[in-house]
Every structure is written in C-alpha cells, then in structure tokens.
Structure 1
Amino acid sequence: MKRKRWPYYLANRPVQADTALEVVDKFSGERVARCAFADAEAIDAAIAAAHGARAAMAAFPPDARRAVLEHCVARFRARSEELALALCIEAGKPIRDARGEVTRLIDTFRIAADESVRIGGEVLELAISPRTRGYRGMTRRVPIGACSFITPFNFPLNLVAHKVAPAIAAGCPFVLKPAAKTPLGALIIGEVLAETDLPAGAFSILPCSNEDAAALAEDERIALLSFTGGLVGWDLKARAGRKKVTLELGGNAACIVDADPGRPLAEVVERLVFGAYYQSGQSCISVQRILVHRDHHDALAKQLAAAVRKLKAGDPRDEATFIGPVIDEDAAKRIDGWIDAAIAGGATALVRGKRRGNMLPAALLRDVPRDADLQRKEAFGPVACLEAFDDFDDALARVNDSDFGLQAGVFTGSIAHAMRAWDRLEVGGVVVGDVPSFRVDNMPYGGVKHSGLGREGVRWAIHDMTEERLLVLRD
C-alpha cells in the first residue's frame, strides 16, 4: 500500500489519467491514495474495445482461459497480505475478515479455472416423428459478447471476482466499474490481469461517476449488464434495452430459531453473532431479523446480548477487532436514526452504544415495530432485531412479510420444518442449521422480489454469459 497514485485499466493497459478520485482510510479518515477517474470518453472507448474483442475472446481457447485464471490464483496468493491490507484500509474491513475475503477471491478464480473447460452442450434426439427421421441435433454454449459490470463497496474483491472470473471463463470481454469508495482491490485485479495474454480489449476497469457509467446500462454494444448494489438496479434494468440483465440488490435477511433448534443454544448464539455483525453488518445477507420460538426467546436474548456487548470495536488493523467502521458517516447516521425511530416506536434496546463518526457500535433490539425501517428496509450495518413466535408457520409468514428475498436461515431439528421452510420461504436460498450469511462461491446465489434477478455463483454466471447455439445435421 505504499503506492499513492493508481491507474485505471483501459483495453488491458494502465492509464494514468486525471487522478481526481481520492481513497481514504475509512477508520482514520486519512487520504491514502489517488486513482485515475474515467470520464465518458474513456467509458465509450472501453465499450468499443470490448465490443471489438468479442471474436478474439470467443476464439481464445478454453485451456488458455484456464491458464489466465490459474495465473490470477497464483498471483493473488502471492499478494494476499497486500490485498487484505488494501481491503482493511479502503473498506474499513477488520483484518481477519479481509483475509477471509482474499481467500474467497482465490477460491472464485480457482473455481472459474475449473469451469472454463467444462462448458459443454448436449446431443438431442430429433427423430420424434416420421418427418424428422434422419436428423440429429447438438447444442453448445457460446459467449454472449461484451459485458458490463457494476460492483458495490462492501466486498471489493469477491463481488468483482464473481463477475470477472466467470467472464474470462466464458470468453466474454468486459468493462467493470468498481465502487468509487473502494476501487483499489479491483485495480490490483486489473494489474494482475494485465500480466496475462488476454486478447487486446478483453478488459477495462474504470472507476467513474454514476452519470458517466450510464452507458454501461444503455449502450447497445453491451450484451449483458451485471449489477450488484442497491435498488437503483431496477432503474438500470429499465434503461438497459434488449440486453440481458442480472441484479443482486440486497435484503433484510431473517433467521428462525425453532422450538427444537437442532443445535445447542450457545452454538446458535455464536452463529447469530457472526451472521449479524460480521464485517459490521455490511453484507447483503447479514442477519437483520431474528425470530425465536418463545420457549427460547428469553434465554437466547440474554446470551446474545452478552455476546454482542463483548464484541471489540475499533481499528480494523487490530487483529482483535470485530466491528470496524461502516463505509461513511452518512451511513452511520442513517442506521443510528433508524434505531432511534424503532425505539421511539416501542422497541427495546438490549444493546446500544454511542455513534462516533462512522464508528457505530453493535446494537440489538427487541420487539421492533413491523412497519419500522429497521424491519422493512436493509439496514446494512451492525444491528439486529429480535422477536418471539409461537407457531412455526407464523414465523415463515413473518419472514415472507418483506419486500426482499435473498436468503433465510432456519435452526431446526425437524426435517419436516426444514422442508416446509424450503417449500414456503420466498427467498433465493434457505440455509438450514446455520445463518443466512453463509455462502460458498460455487453455489447459486441471488434473490427474488426486490432482492434481484438471476443468480451468481461461477457456473450460474457462466450460463448467463453464454448463449445456446443449435446444430442440426441431416444424415
């Protein structure tokens, strides 16, 4: 992290353009770097380069794509501590969490390397009537073309990886806009990609303004837009025209603790603490709503509150820190205001601390009103809401009483309840025996309702970035 000036990457090459984008240490507030900031002209040039590289990327052999991805894996391993420190500084992510994200970055590229040589098709039996005797069919998947990617601040490495690695595996050139608050991780990935022999124009990584990024949604030369972030994604979809769109837009994830939780209560508490407060709650699948059977409510509330009070907040570089800063002071003020409003509406604060700038201590509330922002919207911070239920079906209905539906967790020892949750919960994924914050990088990941459209996870992303092409042969 000694470097103070960072280029962006346009058509595979570093460009030291106007370095107007300042990156600050989210804990100290100190300016740590300046990054090249792309304008509308650079965005247009990147789209043109990606569009022009379609044929070269499609012809780039699968084993060569695998070699590129394997090179990235090796280089990320070699630079793992540098990547973790960059995350710690630019995102305020506690260093232990940052190292975990670097591991996931490596895993995602490794999975993509494996999948790059497994993109197949099928043989079709076409002789379904006398008219079609003597015909046979085959399908294969081909790259969709140039892709545009827009990623948020909270996972500056892994959410970039879940777009970039599948694109390379699929043979798609791309233009990436990383979050302006956290561009360094993406630019390090660009630096590593620039070491490879990807075809000219295969990638561009351009921090830029939201206004100039409009072309990434609107330009007809782009075949697919993949966006991770807030509800503005629906507006981007409306402006995207005929291109394919995938959206991951967050949620207010719920976790049910059944009458028979299937785990010791102490283990449930440990996992709830992780799920709700990991990386200061700034995760799309952070545990925000906890529904506990009345038999366990008081005991769990007492144990959970005690565990939350012990969480160390402070400098994310400190190995003992669990709660670091949220991304900026505006976010901290918003979350703090939602907590105040919930308490004014009748909620009880079991744990609550005082905000200092963008440092917001972990909070735990009980009996938050159903219409409160803290229940209805995505908090995206270190706060969870606890409530009791008497009937499992009622708990399922309460989980579904949300505009979002990304993932849900269910602690239950009943296989019948586990299957009922899978059948009835209106979410993209149900995690039984753990919190909804659990994710493995080779599984399908995405939501329903306001939470998004489509699925990530390397194999599923490759499917979206390719199209089926049919061959019919007549004997």
Structure 2
Amino acid sequence: ARIEAERAVDVLADSAYVARYPRLEARDLGGFASGAGRLALVKRVPVGPVLAITPFNFPLNLVAHKLGPAVAAGCPVVLKPASQTPSPALLLAEVLLEAGLPPEGLSVLPASAADMEPLVRDPRFRLLTFTGSAEVGWALKRTAWDRRVALELGGNAAAIVEPDAGDLGEIAERLAFGAYAFAGQSCISVQRILVHEAVWEPFRALAAAATHAVPAGDPADERTVCGPLIDSANAERVARWVEQALAAGGRLLAGGARAGNVVTPVLLEGVPPDQPVVADEVFGPVAVLQRYHHFEEALELVNRSRYGLQTGVFTSDLGKVRRAWDVLEVGGVIQGDMPTWRSDPMPYGGVKASGTGREGPAWAVLEMTEERLLVLR
C-alpha cells in the first residue's frame, strides 16, 4: 500500500510537469507553393468532460492515472471508482480540491455499474476512459461508439527465458513475484512462462522452489506477497480453472491449496493451450510453464493470445530483443525483467483484446486533448 501511495505521488508529479510544458508544434509551410509565406502552429486543447471508470486492484494509483492527466489537460472529470474500493478515490479527490482544483472540475460517484449507464450514454462526455476487464471495456466502447474511448484492459502476460538469460535462480524468483504478488490481480501479472528446452529442467526446478517460497495469506502481515482474491466468487473461479487444467492433463508443480479467498501460488506445466489458465486472463495467482525449442517459436506462442499488453524477454542477445520488439503483438516489451514491471511515466497500454490508447500522464493527456491549427501569414 505504501508503494502504491508513492507511485500515485509520482503520477501526480509527472502530470504537473506535463501541464507546465504544453505541446506546441510549429511548421514552416513555405516548402510548398501553396504554403508560401505561411507558418502553421498546432496546439492541443481539452476534448471536454471526461468520464473515468477505475477498478479495485490499485484503488489509488489507477485513480491518479485518470485524475492527474485530466487536470493537466484541462478536462473536467467525473470518476466512478470500483464499488469495492471507493475510499482512496474520495480521499484523493478531497486532496485535489484542497489544493485548489475548482469544485466543478471533479466529481467522484461511488455508484453501481447499472447506475453509470446513463452517463456512459451521455454525449456531453467527450472521452470515456476505462480500466478493467476486456468484456466490460469493449461493451462500453460499443455504447460510446461516437466518442473517444481509451481502454486499459486485461492481459495474459508471457515471459520468455532464453539460455543466455543469466542467473536462472534470480529470474525464477523475479517471475514468481510477478505472478503471485497482489494474488495475481494485475493485468500484467505473469501468467505464461516460456522456457527454452536447453534450460527447461533446471529452470523448472527453480521455478517450483520459488513458487513454494512465496509467502501467502494475511495481507495485514507485511511479509505476505500473495494475499486473498477480491471475493469468494473469484477464489472459486481460480480454483475451478486449476482443477480443469489438471483434468485436461496439466501437472501441478506447486501450490493450489485454498483457505477462504486465499489461493496459494499455483505453478502448472503441460497444460493444453485451450485451457482457461493458458488462453484467458486468470487474474489470480496462477502461472503456467511452457517449453519451446527456438526463439521464433516462443514469439509465436506469445502472439497466440488474444491479449497483448506486455511481454518480458530474458536474453542478453540484443538482436533477439529487437526481433521481439518488431514482431510481438503487445503494447510493450520489457528486456531482462518480468512483464509486470511498470514505471508510471512510461506509455502503458495494450493491443488486441487488451485495449486501445495509452496511459502515463504525457500519453494520457494526448488522449484527453485534440489538435487545433493556427496558420499565420
């Protein structure tokens, strides 16, 4: 929670920086006969009122990613926080108002999804920005088809481990953290770990040991890495998906016990690709090992997902890194680290079912503004 609060401060600080240095582009049109003696200036202006909807899993930082850029762009914003976690949004709004934000610039509505339907349909909101599930996000886009929509949706994050990756033990521990922290309730949680056959056996053993070592249980204990799922329905779903994977021929290497809403970190192998733990977004503490024979095969396996958020590539070969950057159908490629890694100022977002648009204050402001041209003679 303290780390999330620190990250939210970074988001607001970066938003303030973006607000202080608005974009202005100048282009001399004299290179064409039609533009002789004329200068084009392009600035960005607010699109207008923004409707923002945020999820439960990072109830402060993801709210900051909506409010900070909206203030920087000059857009009034109505925010609907997750029903399970409205308090951080209300507290942050109070802080912004105390800092001088005009009251008409921000409203926070702790409402149900059904209650938000009229607002989603309201054409006065010129931008809808949503972070949450793919199913809900794309339904919102269909409703608001005639307006701007920015979607930061789910993922099925993969990591590729090449023979030249480095210390396999450190990589296994890093990926275990990426898979099981926050009980896997992150859209860039490690879900698929693709391992080259040359290092398959040692990495498999190290990954199982790293999974066993992840502290799970009470989130009030600061040693806990993997806490509970958000509710019993999701805990039951995750347990059911694991059972289905095992029934389909998958093998359990670690974890799988359940106590209330806590599911101990699960590591699987040999799971058929059509199983939900491979094909869909688990949004729980489950990771699947998959063996591959050559790097191009690993890239193909990453791209078989309908999601495309981020991928981690563990290799010291810059040529392979650039190849991954060229061909992977994802929003971001992270070299030498888990796909769960994120720095808040960077452009963050996905392709395919993972959404459209980018977050990170400088990029979110682009979503919230539009170009306006002035031609001078």
Distance 1:472 1:402 in 2: 46
Contact 1:218 1:241 in 2 (8 A): no
Are residues 1:259 and 2:163 paired? yes
Distance 1:131 1:444 in 2: 37
Contact 1:408 1:435 in 2 (8 A): yes
The one-letter code of the counterpart of 2:189 is S
Aligned to 1:62: none
Aligned to 1:359: 262
Of residues 272, 279, 286, the one that matches 2:189 is 286
Aligned to 1:142: 45
Of residues 292, 300, 312, the one that matches 2:203 is 300
Contact 1:280 1:382 in 2 (8 A): yes
- Say which SS state the counterpart of residue 194 (structure 1) adopts: helix
Shift of 1:212: 1.2
Shift of 1:124: 1.5
Shift of 1:194: 2.4
Contact 2:172 2:206 in 1 (8 A): yes
Greater length-normalized contact order (CA 8 Å, ≥ 6 residues apart): 2
Structure 1, unaligned runs of 5 or more: 1-97
Aligned to 1:424: 327
- What are the residue-to-residue correspondences of 1:385-396 with 2, within 5 Å? 385-396=288-299
Structure 2, unaligned runs of 5 or more: none
Aligned to 2:88: 185
The one-letter code of the counterpart of 2:96 is L
Q: Deviations over 1:31-77 (max 9, x none)?
A: xxxxxxxxxxxxxxxxxxxxxxxxxxxxxxxxxxxxxxxxxxxxxxx
Of residues 113, 121, 139, the one that matches 2:16 is 113
Aligned to 2:122: 219
The one-letter code of the counterpart of 1:249 is L
The one-letter code of the counterpart of 2:20 is V
Distance 1:207 1:246 in 2: 21
- What are the residue-to-residue correspondences of 1:189-204 with 2, within 5 Å? 189-204=92-107
The one-letter code of the counterpart of 1:183 is P
Contact 2:239 2:256 in 1 (8 A): no
Q: Deviations over 1:135-177 (max 9, x none)?
A: 2211111111100000011110111111100011111100000
Of residues 143, 146, 149, the one that matches 1:242 is 146
Distance 1:99 1:215 in 2: 36
Aligned to 2:301: 398
Shift of 1:132: 2.8
Bigger shift: residues 393-402 or 212-221: 212-221
Shift of 1:377: 0.5
Shift of 1:270: 1.7
Distance 2:101 2:216 in 1: 43
- What are the residue-to-residue correspondences of 1:60-71 with 2, within 5 Å? none
Contact 1:216 1:225 in 2 (8 A): no
Contact 2:159 2:313 in 1 (8 A): yes
Q: Deviations over 1:347-381 (max 9, x none)?
A: 00001232122111111001111100111100001
Q: Deviations over 1:360-412 (max 9, x none)?
A: 11110011111001111000011100011111100100010010000001101
Distance 1:245 1:219 in 2: 13
Shift of 1:313: 1.6
Distance 1:103 1:452 in 2: 26
Shift of 1:241: 3.5
Q: CA RMSD in A?
A: 1.1
Shift of 1:428: 0.4
- Identity in percent: 51
Shift of 1:217: 2.0
Larger Rg: 1
Contact 2:176 2:214 in 1 (8 A): no
TM-score using structure 2 length:
0.98
- What are the residue-to-residue correspondences of 1:390-469 with 2, within 5 Å? 390-469=293-372
- What are the residue-to-residue correspondences of 1:3-22 with 2, within 5 Å? none
The one-letter code of the counterpart of 2:85 is T
How many matched pairs? Answer: 376
The one-letter code of the counterpart of 2:356 is L
The one-letter code of the counterpart of 2:197 is R
Distance 2:328 2:247 in 1: 31
Of residues 121, 126, 137, the one that matches 1:233 is 137
Contact 2:54 2:81 in 1 (8 A): yes
Distance 1:354 1:282 in 2: 18
- Say which SS state the counterpart of residue 244 (structure 2) adopts: helix
Shift of 1:215: 2.7
Bigger shift: residues 142-151 or 307-316: 307-316
- Say which SS state the counterpart of residue 288 (structure 1) adopts: strand
The one-letter code of the counterpart of 1:387 is Q
